[in-house]
Amino acid sequence: MSKVFARRRGTVILETPHGILLTGGRRAGRETPFILPGGGAERGESRFVAALRELTEETHLRPYYAEIIFRHLGKVRPTMSGRHKFQDHHTVCLVKATGVPRPGGGDAKRIAYYNPGSSIRISTTTREIIGKYYEWKSKRSPSQTMDEDESDTEDVEGETISGYDEDEE
């Protein structure tokens, strides 16, 4: 029986008037399913900071508001070599950002938006996280939701987003 390695990941939910922002890639000439922006935390980096860094790298957006909303454990899967197994440990962050999204580096070659009932092809983990997000959102009172008009970047330019180390265990 092989050991299961935990992969520390920061994952972003960025809800826009068009839907939830997703990125997609291409491998071996084929398009991969769309996923939520995010990625692995580097050594010494919190998953919260990794989520914000990856959002900027993948979409060129600049986050100005972010909060950790929940954690999500992915399914245990084999590594590419098949010798080991891993499980993604997601810290899911609700983010507001400025800019015009465009595909960035790494696996982000395409941008799309998810809405309930859309036929866009998304990964299983993305589907699970989005489902949890809608559950989380439905339980919040109206006074707990982010102000939709918080898009004035002049007030937040250069400021630090607080709470960036709260996800370390």
Residues spanned by the domain of 130: 4-142
Residue 138, in any domain of the structure: yes
Of 4, 3, 5, 111, nearest in space to 55 by CA: 111
**pLDDT tens digits for the chain (169 residues)?**
568 899 999 999 999 999 999 999 887 778 889 999 999 999 999 999 999 999 999 999 999 999 999 999 999 988 888 888 999 999 999 999 999 999 987 778 999 999 999 999 999 999 999 999 999 999 986 665 554 444 332 223 333 343 333 444 3
Alpha helices by DSSP H, the chain: 47-59, 124-139
Residue 152, in any domain of the structure: no
Residue 165, in any domain of the structure: no
Residue 147, in any domain of the structure: no
CB–CB of 41/14 below 8 Å?
A: no
Count of alpha carbons within 13 angstroms of residue 163, beta-carbon side:
14
Residue 168, in any domain of the structure: no
CB–CB of 68/92 below 8 Å?
A: yes
CA separation, residue 8 to residues 28, 71, 102 (Å)? 26, 11, 25
Q: How many domains does the chain have?
A: 1
**CATH number where 61 lies:** 3.90.79.10
